Amino acid sequence: MIPRLRKQPEKKSCHGYSWVDEYSWIHQDNCLDILKDPNKLNKEVRKYLEQENNYTNKNLKDTEKLQKKLFEEIKGRIKLDDEGLPYRDKQYDYWTKTTKEGNYFKKLRKKIGKNKIECYFDADQEAKGKKFFNCGDLTVSHNDESLIYSVDEKGSEYFTIFVRRISDGKIIDKIEDTAGGCLWAFDDKSFFYRKHDTQKRPRKILQHILGTPVSKDKLIFEEKDERFTCSIDVTSCEQFYLIETSEHTTSEVYYFHKDEKIFQPKLFMQREKGIIYDIDSYNGYWYLHTNKNAEDFKVSRCEYDKFNEWKDFIPAKKGVVIGGLNFLKEWIIRSEISDALSKIFVRNIKTNIEEQLIFADEKVISPGISLIQKDKDTDLIRLTYESPKTPARVFEYNIKTKNKKLVKENEIPSGHNRDDYIVERLNCPSHDGRQIPITITYHKNTKLDGSSYLFLYGYGSYGSAMIPSFSSSKFSLINRNIIWATCHIRGGFERGFHWWKEGKMLNKKNTFSDFLSCAKFLIKNKYSSQKKIIAYGGSAGGLLIGNVINQEPDLFLGAIMAVPFLDNLTTNMDHSLPLTKGELLEFGDAKNNKEHFEYIRSYAPYDNIEKKDYPHILITTSLADSRVLFDEPTKYCAKLREHKTDKNLLLLKCEMDAGHSGKSGRTAAIEEIAFDYAFALKISGKFD
């Protein structure tokens, strides 16, 4: 029996408009309490969600064997018993390990010059008996004696912080109901942590002295603007603490020296609307990374004793996003993004000569660097590169001699031949002539005559860039001749700050038009055909998919939306929700601005459902998701059921013990991917 959510019409009005929402009743005023205690969920709503889950399982029962097959395939591509490369601290080498039996990770260390290996944190043991387990920050004290870590056991992102003495494993301190971020002070006698306000916005930094009551914790910093949230870190020189407070488009930094007797953060540079900046300090200089007078960012610097006498260090380049810096004694390493591709550069501090590091012959790659040790007097770094068809490869690289040695390669136990796959970078003209990059990956035997199915992925919000990285799970689709295409649409950062600005606020519809243009372009060029494309997006990417299937449902065979932002008008108007105020300069302020209201209402997926045929749809959500509350996709599904005129699948799956990122643990993560892929293969008629 198809689940039906009870209707309870509520008349709403704003800016002279009136409308009726028949499902708004499922949103509870104490929604944040439900994140902490699921038992506070309305019993009728819980029953409905259980009915939806049963209905979904019934409709996908014929894929159970396929799900198991997919699970084994995906699991078979993961090296379950793996060890990361060590990072050398002052007295110890530290690294991470996973095992075949475990679902999580183990943190290991070995004293330099000794053979004894010590496991100082075992996440598999910590997670035992828990329905959900997520470890946030995890850091060893500067004297290597104690461990601080934060744990979320519901998925709601309310974290408990623990302090553990490593020598005997004893918990010596505990702080509940935090935002999860924690940082050791250099004295090893105290630490800093983030605290939520009543609306679950981390706007306070407190200092806790070991062994003292939490009630005595000192407030170091409090952000007064509800749109902003704050965090704490240290500079590369380890002389200063930094407190950054920001919303998506504006930031501000405070700093204080580690040796101050009384910590009193000082303002570095006053916030300006639309100006993003961060700072660092190393070897006598302040470094300022900012978009002020540099749309796509630049790096300036000044000497400590000549504060504010800034000189450009890495100048701005139009259409090129200038990244931050990593410091060694004689070298500075930095990154930049252009045309949806990252590049790494290294600069000789003495000569000021800079060169790009070339990683591989492939054009479409995702490069990265990491430091090998805490001591910055070294020429050695680790270079990492991967591509949509090439698993991650890690090289030890000597900057001075340019010698490069392969030290680790992401092993695919079940086998993987990158020469079996083709990666292409195309550019698609959008409705206004903008060229939209598309990264395409497919098997060399896949036909490009329009007969192939295509998985079309997009996001396009918050300036997040979709980097062309390797994902072993995707090959369960690609090996079945389903083409994977990632659309680098506006709203991201792939082609500079303007790429973001042209996909947000009153330009948000460009994001949707870009995605539709990509779909039509790929059909026109015979990569696929109408009704053979499956659209996929998560969170704000769900807003994207919900909109495009409202606009042109006939383009798509199906759509998969994970924790989707579908009732965005209602959420935007509710300023009591955790994320809304911080996103007013990303999406607009429908509550207080009529133009914003009209614009958002014109594209909001929930508000624009019509009586017409829709493609097959799978929606996944989580009860403890604090970013996109479960009631958004639940309402959307209920309303769509009432309006759609087709007999295609419309399935809602709500995880009852999970958060925004889904269930926890490796096995559960694989199961979720296998579930989504089984849906995609079912509607494609591929049960092999």
Please check whether residue 456 is in contact with residue 533, taking contact to mean a CB–CB distance below 8 angstroms.
yes
How many CB atoms are located within 10 Å of the residue 602 CB?
12
Provide the 8-state DSSP code for 606.
Answer: G
3-state secondary structure of 166: coil
Q: What is the distance between the alpha carbons of residues 43 and 491, in angstroms, rounded to a whole number?
A: 39
Burial class (CB in 10 A: 0-12, 13-18, 19+), 289: buried
Say whether pLDDT at 163 is over 80: yes
Q: Is the dihedral of CA 619, 621, 626, 631 positive or negative?
A: positive
pLDDT confidence of residue 318: 87
% residues pLDDT > 70 (the chain)? 100
Using pLDDT thresholds of 50, 70 and 90, give the confidence band for residue 359. Answer: confident
Q: Element (H or E) spanning 642, and its range?
A: helix 631-643
Q: What is the distance between the alpha carbons of residues 245 and 267, in angstroms, rounded to a whole number?
A: 11
For helices 64-76 and 666-684, angle between their N-to-C axes, nearest 10 degrees? 130
What architecture does CATH give domain 80-324? 7 Propeller (2.130)
Q: Rounded mean pLDDT of 332-361?
A: 94
Using pLDDT thresholds of 50, 70 and 90, give the confidence band for residue 430. Answer: very high
pLDDT confidence of residue 409: 96
Please check whether residue 532 is in contact with residue 510, taking contact to mean a CB–CB distance below 8 angstroms.
no
Q: Element (H or E) spanning 83, and its range?
A: strand 82-83
- State both tokens at 302: 């000044």
Please check whether residue 347 is in contact with residue 361, taking contact to mean a CB–CB distance below 8 angstroms.
no
Q: Is the dihedral of CA 204, 209, 210, 216 positive or negative?
A: negative
Say whether pLDDT at 1 is over 90: no
Q: What is the chain's length?
A: 688
Q: Which residue in 651, 462, 613 sits closest to 541, CA to CA?
A: 462
pLDDT confidence of residue 158: 96
- State both tokens at 653: 């799956």
Position of tokens 């540099």?
A: 294
- Which distant-in-sequence residues (6+ apart) come within 8 Å of 315 by Cβ? 294, 298
How many CB atoms are located within 10 Å of the residue 565 CB?
30
pLDDT confidence of residue 307: 85
- State both tokens at 284: 């006598």
- 216-236: string of b/e by CB count within 10 Å (b at 16+)? ebeebbebeebbbbbbbebbb
Q: Rounded mean pLDDT of 176-201?
A: 96
Average pLDDT, the chain: 97
Q: Which residue in 572, 533, 568 sits closest to 549, CA to CA?
A: 533
pLDDT confidence of residue 339: 87
Q: Which residue in 168, 127, 208 sits closest to 664, CA to CA?
A: 127
% residues pLDDT > 90 (the chain)? 97
Q: What is the distance between the alpha carbons of residues 21 and 28, in angstroms, rounded to a whole number?
A: 15
Higher-confidence residue of 360 and 635: namely 635
How many CB atoms are located within 10 Å of the residue 303 CB?
11
Q: What is the distance between the alpha carbons of residues 448 and 460, in angstroms, rounded to a whole number?
A: 27
pLDDT confidence of residue 319: 86
Instruction: Identify each DSSP E strand in 592-682 by its residue range.
Output: 616-622, 650-655
Amino acid (one-letter) located at 669: A
Half-sphere exposure of residue 581, counting CA atoms within 13 Å on the CB side? 16
Q: Is the pTM of this model over 0.75?
A: yes
Q: Which residue in 97, 123, 124, 99 sits closest to 108, CA to CA?
A: 97
Domain range annotation of the chain: 10-75+421-684, 80-324, 328-412
Provide the 8-state DSSP code for 200.
Answer: S
Higher-confidence residue of 504 and 307: namely 504
Q: What is the distance between the alpha carbons of residues 492 and 318, in angstroms, rounded to a whole number?
A: 16
- State both tokens at 377: 């007097």
Half-sphere exposure of residue 687, counting CA atoms within 13 Å on the CB side? 9
Please check whether residue 490 is in contact with residue 511, taking contact to mean a CB–CB distance below 8 angstroms.
yes
Complete edge-to-edge strand list for the sheet that includes strand 171-178? 134-140, 146-152, 159-165, 171-178
Q: What is the distance between the alpha carbons of residues 383 and 406, in angstroms, rounded to a whole number?
A: 9
What are the residues facing 332 on neighbouring strands?
327, 347
Q: What is the distance between the alpha carbons of residues 139 and 124, in angstroms, rounded to a whole number?
A: 17
- State both tokens at 676: 């989504």
Using pLDDT thresholds of 50, 70 and 90, give the confidence band for residue 407. Answer: very high
What are the residues facing 278 on neighbouring strands?
289
Q: What is the distance between the alpha carbons of residues 150 and 167, in angstroms, rounded to a whole number?
A: 19
Position of tokens 């792939």?
A: 494
- State both tokens at 447: 């036909």
Q: What is the distance between the alpha carbons of residues 490 and 393, in angstroms, rounded to a whole number?
A: 30
Say whether pLDDT at 543 is over 80: yes
**Could you tell me the CA-to-CA distances from 264 to 167, 210, 259 in Å, in that order?**
34, 20, 11
Number of helices (H), then strands (E), belonging to the chain: the values are: 13, 39
Radius of gyration of the chain (CA): 25
Q: What is the distance between the alpha carbons of residues 331 and 324, in angstroms, rounded to a whole number?
A: 14
Q: What is the distance between the alpha carbons of residues 655 and 28, in angstroms, rounded to a whole number?
A: 18
pLDDT confidence of residue 524: 98
Using pLDDT thresholds of 50, 70 and 90, give the confidence band for residue 534. Answer: very high
Please check whether residue 349 is in contact with residue 324, taking contact to mean a CB–CB distance below 8 angstroms.
no
Provide the 8-state DSSP code for 306.
Answer: G
Residue-by-residue DSSP string for 495-556: T-HHHHHTTSGGGTHHHHHHHHHHHHHHHHTTS--TT-EEEEEETHHHHHHHHHHHH-GGGE
Say whether pLDDT at 360 is over 90: no
What architecture does CATH give domain 10-75+421-684? 3-Layer(aba) Sandwich (3.40)
pLDDT for 243-294, tens place per residue?
999 999 999 999 999 999 999 999 999 999 999 999 999 999 999 999 999 9
Q: Which residue in 575, 636, 564, 650 sits closest to 607, CA to CA?
A: 636
Q: Rounded mean pLDDT of 343-366?
A: 94
Amino acid (one-letter) located at 647: K
Please check whether residue 158 is in contact with residue 38, taking contact to mean a CB–CB distance below 8 angstroms.
no
Q: What is the distance between the alpha carbons of residues 68 and 622, in angstroms, rounded to a whole number?
A: 22
3-state secondary structure of 324: strand
